Amino acid sequence: MQSIVIILVIGILYLWLRSKSNIDVKERELDEKDVSNPNYYLPYKLRLKVMSEHERLLLDNLRIVLGSGYDIYPQVNLDKIFCVEHQRAYKYYLGWLRKINQKSVDFLIVKRDTQTPVFAIELDDSSHENEDRIERDKFVEELFRRNNFVLVRFNPGQYTVEELKIVLNKYLN
């Protein structure tokens, strides 16, 4: 019995030390400058899908509704739609930029010939019910409102081409 306890303690200690050394290696590798080094740790992997099923279905129907006169860009960061006005100090510019450069809308609709933004679309799935997401949505709504730019919100679901035409036609002309 005593030998089993000793083996277990040694095993647990070994696993703990091994996990600790892996963390140290990964943290040390973050400090390296040569990312071409095959030992440089990059904790990334390819996503299997770039949008949810609801987003994909909406995109398919948007392509039909909008036709060839518009381009549809998915997952566009807000700093690609809005720019920060001139600030007296660079640190203020960066502060305002950080408020928008990591937020995105599900789709941005632009005129194909000029690439002028027409409106944006947000698909309000269940993640929009989280408290931090509600605060984010308030900020985004106010940003769009103050810039007189339309943000169309949809709840997840299957929208027919006819339903989308009714909702979106008022923004297309």
Residues of the chain with pLDDT > 70, as a percent, come to 88
User: How many CB atoms are located within 10 Å of the residue 107 CB?
Assistant: 22
Contact of 154 with 121, CB cutoff 8 Å:
yes
pLDDT tens readout for residues 125-172: 766 677 878 899 999 999 999 999 999 999 877 788 999 999 999 998
What ranges do the domains of the chain cover?
1-44, 53-172
Class level of CATH domain 53-172: alpha beta
Amino acid at 164: L
* pLDDT tens per residue, range 33-52: 677 787 778 888 999 999 98
**Residue 23 banded pLDDT, cuts 50, 70, 90:** low
pTM of the complete model = 0.74
Task: Count Cβ atoms below 10 Å from residue 164 Cβ, excluding itself.
Answer: 19
Exposed / middle / buried, residue 120 (Cβ in 10 Å: 0-12, 13-18, 19+): buried
